[in-house]
């Protein structure tokens, strides 16, 4: 179900993904994660037959897949999110290849 939601939102948001890479997601139960490393700790639920859920404002108010959910999905080894990391790295390489070298 969350895969369909990602598609509706245009895929994995690289800004949220980049921020999610710096977080730690600790599995506390089946599909339940405690995510730390940001300004506040958050709780994420990722269940196979339900939309993911996070208690952060980005998810609750904007109804977007947040960096905390992405961190938990990375911890799960979710293929779509792992592939998106490759896309993020490629986009960063492209950006830096256009930056003039320091003299």
3-state secondary structure of 36: strand
Instruction: Report yes or no on 94 lying in a domain.
Output: no
How high does pLDDT run on average in the chain? 83
Q: How confident is the model at residue 97 (pLDDT cuts 50, 70, 90)?
A: low
Q: Measured between alpha carbons, how far is 25 from 49 in angstroms, rounded to an integer?
A: 21
User: Considering its fold, how many domains does the chain have in total?
Assistant: 1
Instruction: Report yes or no on 71 lying in a domain.
Output: yes
End-to-end CA distance of the chain: 51
**What is the tens place of the pLDDT at every residue in 28-38?**
999 999 999 98
Instruction: Report yes or no on 97 lying in a domain.
Output: no
pLDDT score recorded for residue 101: 56
Instruction: Report yes or no on 98 lying in a domain.
Output: no
C-alpha distances out from residue 7 to 2, 16, 45, 74, Å = 9, 15, 19, 17
CA 84 to chain centre: 9
Domain with 12, as residue range(s), is: 2-89
Instruction: Report yes or no on 100 lying in a domain.
Output: no
Q: What is the mean pLDDT of residues 51-58?
A: 91
Q: Does pLDDT of 11 surpass 80? A: no
């Amino acid at each position: 179900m969350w895969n369909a939601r990602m598609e509706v939102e245009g895929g994995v948001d690289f800004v949220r993904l980049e921020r999610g890479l710096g977080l730690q997601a600790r599995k506390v139960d089946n599909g339940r994660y405690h995510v730390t490393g940001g300004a506040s700790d958050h709780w994420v639920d990722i269940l196979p037959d339900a939309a993911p859920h996070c208690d952060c404002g980005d998810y609750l108010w904007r109804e977007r897949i947040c960096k905390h959910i992405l961190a938990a999905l990375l911890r799960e080894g979710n293929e779509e999110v792992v592939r998106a990391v490759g896309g993020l790295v490629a986009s960063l390489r492209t950006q830096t290849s256009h930056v003039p070298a320091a003299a």
